[in-house]
Amino acid sequence: MRNILGGNEASFDSVCTRLTLRIGVNLRDLKLNQMHDQGLLEPLEEMGYVLS
Amino acid sequence: MLFGAFSAGGNTVQVIEEILSQLGDCNPKALVFFAAHSLDGALISHAFRERYAGAEVIGCTTAGEFNEKNGGIGGLTVLALPEDKVKRCVAGLAQFGEGRVTAVHGVVNAIAEKLRIDLRKADPARYVGIVLIDGMHAEEERVNDMLGNMAPLLSFAGGSAGDNLEFKETRVFQNGAASSHGAVFLLLDMNVPFRIIKTCSFKPLGESFTVTRANLSHRRVFELDGDLAVRVYADALGKAIDQLDNKDFAAHPLGLMIDGKPWIRSLKGFSPEGGIDFYCQISEGMEVFVMEATDIIAETAEAIESAKRQLDGASGGLMFNCIFRRLDLEAKGLMQEHLDCFEGLSIAGFHTYGESWMGHMNHTLTGIIF
């Protein structure tokens, strides 16, 4: 997932922080299927990242 | 070399003349100013643009202004960024009356086009943005979210314009134009390395609570852990609801903890049905803490010193300091100690109605150091 979200730790941090500020869930704590179950793919898609 | 200037106040023409005489022939690529709401900011930005042809000039009204030596209310502070710091830059003003989404997209895309960059691929170690948003229309979350959607890896740091606690009208400015319902953006292609700072001096007081009912657009939380928000908040402080006052609000905001760092949401007041109004949105499902204060001077100094160490030295920066921090520093008699944290740097800063970086927050100092 780091590769998709910008490719390095700093960019992963950036996306994780932005999303946590919006919806209160930290991506670091989740696997892809959990993100799907929690409806997090849509906010990620808003940010231009399609993970499905 | 950076060029800073500060005026404690006067009428707009006098203040402009005082600042221009301090700046001299500095030939800036960009000029950022923070002006008392009693001054004519459009005239100020027009005068700077006329004096420094080709420079991008942005600014906003404040709840107090400062540089590294002086602070006050009613004046003007300026930082001029010359070519040895900034290779090139473009600014834009979004008027939200035209529709916020359209305005922000249009202005930010136009900035990218002028710089001939792809916002999603631009190097975040080379490009940095400044965003100044009017502080009276609660648009900060959406503006920051849109910046995150358009440029998820770039930092835009900034703050919300103020009017020294009158809460009537705040304004942002660009190259002689003004808006009381909008935002200005400045994207800098830097010639030098930079760091974003974010410091807020709070830690969790106790256990966390989950927001179980909230109204995002009203920045209101009705319930925490299924109980009335005001009752949960009062219990956390060991007080009866009718004992709570503004001092409690200032001393004990709520905060999200992200990777061990607090992101503060300040209380505005109580709603009739037992909810709490904030100066920042809090979503249902968020885990929040009631916070308690830590050492504002030590932590501010450490944030600045840490940035300077990472940069192996720095010459200045732009600072966006929450009005709650100003009030806190004034109450504790620590304003001079706070200014001393910036010793050795050329700083322009203002006391804000909210701080921006990654999102919107309160009771925080954000800034760019280079």
State pLDDT tens for residues B124-141.
999 999 999 999 999 999
- Residue A7's pLDDT is 66
Instruction: Assess if residue A1 is contained within a domain.
Output: no
Residues B138 and B157 in one domain: yes
Residues B316 and B280 in one domain: no
Residues B356 and B308 in one domain: yes
Domain end call among B259, B293, B327: B293
In A1-52, the residues whose Cβ lies within 8 Å of chain B are: 6, 10-11, 13-18, 20-26, 28, 46-49
Residues B191 and B59 in one domain: yes
Is the alpha carbon torsion for B353, B315, B339, B76 positive or negative? Answer: negative
Instruction: Assess if residue A20 is contained within a domain.
Output: yes
**pLDDT band with cut points at 50, 70 and 90 for residue A52:** low
Distances (CA, A) of B266 to B7, B225, B370: 30, 19, 29
Residues B119 and B226 in one domain: no
Q: Nearest-CA distance from B150 to chain A in Å?
A: 7
More confident residue, A3 or B120: B120
* Structural domains of chain A, count: 1
pLDDT tops 70 at residue B123: yes
CA atoms within 13 A on the CB side of B103: 19
B256 and A24: CB-CB below 8 Å? Answer: yes
User: What's the pLDDT tens digit per position in B139-152?
Assistant: 999 999 999 999 99
Distances (CA, A) of B20 to B23, B39, B47, B288, B322: 5, 16, 9, 47, 27
Mean pLDDT calculated for residue range B309-321: 96
Residues B139 and B8 in one domain: yes
Domain end call among B293, B316, B333: B293
**pLDDT band with cut points at 50, 70 and 90 for residue A5:** confident
Which ipTM did the prediction report? 0.90
Rounded to the nearest integer, the mean pLDDT of chain B is 96
Q: Over pLDDT 90: what percentage of chain B?
A: 96
Domain end call among B271, B293, B315: B293
- Residue B318's pLDDT is 98
Residues B150 and B207 in one domain: no
User: What's the pLDDT tens digit per position in B332-364?
Assistant: 999 999 999 999 999 999 999 999 999 999 999
- Residue A51's pLDDT is 75
Residues B216 and B365 in one domain: no
Residues B7 and B88 in one domain: yes
Residues B91 and B211 in one domain: no
Distances (CA, A) of B304 to B51, B52, B92, B313: 32, 30, 29, 11
- Residue B61's pLDDT is 98
Instruction: Assess if residue A25 is contained within a domain.
Output: yes
* Structural domains of chain B, count: 2
User: What's the pLDDT tens digit per position in A6-34?
Assistant: 667 778 888 899 999 998 888 887 877 88
Mean pLDDT calculated for residue range B216-245: 96
Residues B103 and B160 in one domain: yes
The residue segments making up the domain with residue B178 are 3-199+297-369
Contact B99/A at CB under 8 A:
no
Rounded to the nearest integer, the mean pLDDT of chain A is 82
Instruction: Assess if residue A3 is contained within a domain.
Output: no
Counting one residue from A and one from B, how many pairs have CB atoms under 8 Å apart?
60
The residue segments making up the domain with residue A41 are 9-46
Instruction: Give the domain CATH number at B271.
Output: 2.40.30
Q: Which residue in A6, A17, A25 is closest to B358 by CB distance?
A: A17
Residues B54 and B148 in one domain: yes
Cα B278–B279–B285 angle (5° rounding)? 50
More confident residue, A48 or B86: B86
**pLDDT band with cut points at 50, 70 and 90 for residue B98:** confident
